[in-house]
Amino acid sequence: MERAAQRDSQTAADASGRKAKRQRKRDVGPPPSDDQLARFYAAKVNSDEYLPNGMISNAMCEAMLARRLVTADRLRLRGVR
């Protein structure tokens, strides 16, 4: 009971005098283009680093293959396709 009373009084004190500051969303720039995304994921596929299941969608596979950034054999080897 005492802890609940302390918490209520603290909440009331915080609400009475101070408001939470709002922060604006940072401008991170434009989203990456399809070519940039394809190059990023192709680098992951072509490297030997860990590649989680489901990281690369079918659409991204098609985009990388269309741009000839990876081969179908490499995708199969990495367990993507």
| pLDDT confidence band for 4 (50 / 70 / 90) | confident
Q: What is the pLDDT of residue 53?
A: 87
What's at 10, amino acid-wise?
A: Q
For 36-75, the pLDDT digits (tens) are 999 999 999 999 999 998 999 999 999 999 999 999 999 9
CA-based diameter of the chain, in Å? 68
Q: Which string of b and e fits 20-35 if b means at least 16 CB within 10 Å?
A: eeeeeeeeeeeeeeee
Cα–Cα distance measured from residue 79 to residue 39, given in angstroms and rounded to the nearest whole number: 18
pTM, full prediction: 0.65
How many CA atoms lie within 13 Å of 81's alpha carbon, on the beta-carbon side?
16
